[in-house]
Chains A and B, each alone.
Chain A
Amino acid sequence: MRTDGYLVEVKNLVKYFPLLAGVMRRKIADIKAVDGVSFGVKQGEVVGLVGESGCGKTTVGRCILRLYDITAGNIYFQGKDITNIEGEELRRLRRDMQLIFQDPYASLDPRMTIGDIIGEPLLVHGLAQDKEYKQKVAELLELVELEPRMAVRYPHEFSGGQRQRIGIARALATRPKFIVCDEPVSALDVSIQAQVIKLLKQLREELGLTYLFIAHDLSVVRYISDRVVVMYLGKIVESAESEDLYNKPLHPYTQALLSAVPIPCPEVDRQRTRILLVGDVPSPLFPPRGCRFHTRCRLAKAECREKEPELKNVGDEHQVACHLV
């Protein structure tokens, strides 16, 4: 057993997807979605994982849940190495780890009633029988502030925000300890977003949940997370306590990312310095040599083009991977 207090920990996680081509579907290259990522999530903590499309944040979440077979590295849950567990053991693990999806339209089976959708995990894991089952579904609906009588309705009868609540209820059905929230509010309207964020916060406090909160919206991530991990092209570039990261970001990418988010208050926003990045994120097929961010970094030096920076501690649980820090 390991005892560093992490509920979930990943060490040197690597996940490559093969790029297949030709009639024989031969592998011609690797898409390096996640390329050596290490971090931990403490019991009861919310860790935010941010980055732009293609940075590997979703892949990290799915690897932890063992939805993908990883290429290299280790995943620990409650101190136990779960990288290679299989069969019954893996099934039992699924009870403790759940996922909330981004798209509330695609993640609910349109031909099942929402009662069946929410109750399915209970049946699959043998957690409730006939009478108890109905009672538990009703409780779950109430937990996410929907009415128990709605259990007989179908997903199309619900709005986006309500569907997201249904997805949350389903994730909570097995009483998990750890939930990966993958962009849970980005498909929702502003006023509905606030409702769902508030619900997730409440549930965390009431049920003592631990979240990995994956999103691209920095203001939302900062609001809900205790600690934030910033990814760029399959690597962690910076990780710190939420307030710290926003008050004194050290990595040039984090700084640019923060400055790109306008603050909905004209007076405050006018005072901020803006850093405009040039170009797009390079392809994870052929990530740049050296520091992966050097092609877009305004401060890049010769060293950055040659040598890959290590993630180093700079105090107060603040880590950064940059030669210039």
Chain B
Amino acid sequence: MLEVKDLKTYFYIREGTLRAVDGLSYSVKKGEFVALVGESACGKSVSALSIMRLIPYPPGIIVGGEIIFEGRDLLKLSEEEMRSIRGNRIAMVFQEPMTSLNPVLTVGRQIAESLELHRGMAKEEARVEAGKLLKLVGIPDAERRLEDYPYQFSGGMQQRIMIAMALSCNPVLLIADEPTTSVDVTVQAQLMELLNNLRSQFHMSVILITHNLGLVARYADRVNVMYAGRLVESGLTDTIYSHPHHPYTVGLITSVPRLDLPRQRPLYVIPGLPPDLTRLSPNICAFAPRCRFAISKCTEQRPELEQIGDEHWVACFRHKEIPELTAMECEQ
């Protein structure tokens, strides 16, 4: 349904060219729950904004690639055509609900607005529909609360309102960018359950952008691991967690403490810092400086994604040896 091919989004800033996304490819099937995982500044949010064509220009620009959505390349559409897709066929939920909601309009008005705009509803009709949507996302006493302003809701409730707005036009693809980062764990659990239930109810596809590996394990069908603007590994969730083949994926999974394992288990630590994307050479493996298994080839050439199993891709020269090498490392 969605196919991102060799996407490149660069930012031309004072310090040079920042290659936020540099040759990213992945696809999303109908009804699939796909996770895009990585640490800050790995390009995961920029890649989502690129799909929505919401990259601020200047300094940002999509310099190459294709984004095929329902048979059309989104990058070739006019701004007007794009507007009929954005918010309509593809919707997005952001991290900070309070900065996305208008503080001086009632939530009812804000939801109704998109219904009037995208679905051409009359005012009264839109209002009724807005009430239904609020109820759908689990806001108690929905009808009455249409009159309330965003500040009168808690963070979790605000995020529910954002989800209601995103759903207002029955999108086929929902991009959720760190939707639960600013809320507490018990509220996070509520929101994720809601999102997952709505997905199956409306046969939507979901792209979840997150750094939380637990959420990914619980909800995603497929995982795409990003590092420095590119995919380093991609595969079905079970495969990625049980047989990771990229040293960065292994590092991510084993560097978080787990509730179910004995406390004494030492954490695996990935040394060093993520690279400066303005200085990164495109001709090496970006992870090589932090990789314990890097060989000379890793600093001479950039590894490309290679299929190593059923729906499993990895970009590492030593991928065959990695499971064994890291297992030894973890035991020590």
- A197, A216, A277: the one contacting B190 at CB < 8 Å is A277
Q: Which residues of A contact B257 (CB under 8 A)?
A: 197, 219-220, 222-223
Check if A194 sits within 8 Å of B256, measured CB to CB: yes
Is the CB of A22 closer than 8 A to any CB of chain B? no
Q: Which residues of B contact A223 (CB under 8 A)?
A: 257, 263, 267
Q: Which of A184-201 contact B (CB under 8 A)?
A: 189-195, 197-198
Is the CB of A311 closer than 8 A to any CB of chain B? no
When C-beta atoms are compared, the residue in chain B nearest to A191 turns out to be: B270
Known: A242-B263, A266-B237. A189 touches B217 (CB 8 A): no
Check if B186 sits within 8 Å of A256, measured CB to CB: yes
Q: Which residues of B contact A268 (CB under 8 A)?
A: 260
Q: Which of the listed residues A217, A260, A267 has the most CB atoms from chain B within 10 Å of its own CB? A: A260
Is the CB of B12 closer than 8 A to any CB of chain A? no
Give CA–CA (A259, B188) in the complex, Å. Answer: 12
Check if B258 sits within 8 Å of A219, measured CB to CB: yes
Check if B184 sits within 8 Å of A266, measured CB to CB: no
Check if A198 sits within 8 Å of B258, measured CB to CB: no
Check if A264 sits within 8 Å of B214, measured CB to CB: yes
Q: Which residues of A contact B213 (CB under 8 A)?
A: 190, 264
Check if A276 sits within 8 Å of B189, measured CB to CB: yes
Check if B185 sits within 8 Å of A191, measured CB to CB: no
Q: Which of A232-286 contact B (CB under 8 A)?
A: 242-243, 246, 256-269, 274, 276-278, 280-281
When C-beta atoms are compared, the residue in chain B nearest to A278 turns out to be: B190
Q: Which of the listed residues A191, A193, A218, A257 has the most CB atoms from chain B within 10 Å of its own CB? A: A191
Give CA–CA (A25, B258) in the complex, Å. Answer: 48
Known: A190-B39, A219-B256. A263 touches B267 (CB 8 A): no
Check if B260 sits within 8 Å of A263, measured CB to CB: yes
Is the CB of B269 closer than 8 A to any CB of chain A? yes
Known: A260-B189, A277-B190. A191 touches B251 (CB 8 A): yes
Give CA–CA (A256, B184) in the complex, Å. Answer: 12
Minimum C-beta distance from A168 to chain B (A): 16
Minimum C-beta distance from A191 to chain B (A): 4
Check if A280 sits within 8 Å of B242, measured CB to CB: no
Check if A262 sits within 8 Å of B215, measured CB to CB: yes
Give CA–CA (A271, B189) in the complex, Å. Answer: 16
Give CA–CA (A280, B216) in the complex, Å. Answer: 24
Q: Which residues of B contact A276 (CB under 8 A)?
A: 189-190, 193
Cβ proximity bits B237-273 to A, threshold 8 Å, 1 near / 0 not = 1100110000000011101111110010011111101
For the residues of A in contact with B, the DSSP-based class is helix
When C-beta atoms are compared, the residue in chain A nearest to B185 turns out to be: A260
Give CA–CA (A266, B221) in the complex, Å. Answer: 10
Q: Which residues of B contact A107 (CB under 8 A)?
A: none
Check if A194 sits within 8 Å of B267, measured CB to CB: yes
Is the CB of B157 closer than 8 A to any CB of chain A? yes
Size range of the chain A interface in the assembly:
35 or more
Q: Which of B219-247 contact A (CB under 8 A)?
A: 237-238, 241-242
Give CA–CA (A268, B237) in the complex, Å. Answer: 13
Q: Which residues of B contact A246 (CB under 8 A)?
A: 259
Is the CB of B301 closer than 8 A to any CB of chain A? no
Check if B241 sits within 8 Å of A264, measured CB to CB: yes
Known: A264-B214, A276-B190. A194 touches B184 (CB 8 A): no
Check if B189 sits within 8 Å of A218, measured CB to CB: no
Check if A269 sits within 8 Å of B214, measured CB to CB: yes
Minimum C-beta distance from B186 to chain A (A): 5
Check if A194 sits within 8 Å of B270, measured CB to CB: yes
Give CA–CA (A161, B213) in the complex, Å. Answer: 20
Is the CB of A81 closer than 8 A to any CB of chain B? no
Q: Which of A171-195 contact B (CB under 8 A)?
A: 189-195
Give CA–CA (A259, B214) in the complex, Å. Answer: 12
Cβ proximity bits B266-302 to A, threshold 8 Å, 1 near / 0 not = 1111110110000000000000000000000000000
- B211, B259, B263: the one contacting A263 at CB < 8 Å is B259
- A194, A242, A265, A269: the one contacting B255 at CB < 8 Å is A194
- B184, B259, B266: the one contacting A216 at CB < 8 Å is B184
Q: Which of B198-214 contact A (CB under 8 A)?
A: 211-214
Check if A260 sits within 8 Å of B186, measured CB to CB: yes
Give CA–CA (A217, B217) in the complex, Å. Answer: 17
Is the CB of B307 closer than 8 A to any CB of chain A? no
When C-beta atoms are compared, the residue in chain A nearest to B238 turns out to be: A266
Give CA–CA (A36, B185) in the complex, Å. Answer: 25
Known: A190-B39, A194-B268. A269 touches B185 (CB 8 A): no
Q: Which residues of A contact B14 (CB under 8 A)?
A: none
Check if B238 sits within 8 Å of A53, measured CB to CB: no
Q: Which residues of B contact A242 (CB under 8 A)?
A: 263
- A198, A219, A257, A266: the one contacting B186 at CB < 8 Å is A257
Check if B157 sits within 8 Å of A280, measured CB to CB: yes
Q: Which of A206-235 contact B (CB under 8 A)?
A: 216-220, 222-223
Give CA–CA (A242, B262) in the complex, Å. Answer: 10
Cβ proximity bits A278-298 to B, threshold 8 Å, 1 near / 0 not = 101100000000000000000
The 3 lowest CB-CB distance pairs between A and B, nearest first, are: A262-B214, A223-B257, A194-B255
Additional A-B contacts beyond A192-B39, A260-B185, A260-B186 (11; CB < 8 A): A190-B255, A191-B252, A220-B257, A222-B257, A243-B263, A260-B188, A262-B215, A262-B218, A264-B253, A265-B241, A266-B237
8 example contacts (A-B, Cβ-Cβ < 8 A) are as follows A190-B252, A191-B252, A194-B255, A195-B269, A260-B188, A265-B217, A268-B260, A277-B190
Question: Which residues of chain B have a CB within 8 Å of any CB of chain A?
Answer: 39-40, 154, 156-157, 184-190, 193, 211-218, 237-238, 241-242, 251-253, 255-260, 263, 266-271, 273-274
Question: Which residues of chain A have a CB within 8 Å of any CB of chain B?
Answer: 52-53, 159, 161-162, 189-195, 197-198, 216-220, 222-223, 242-243, 246, 256-269, 274, 276-278, 280-281
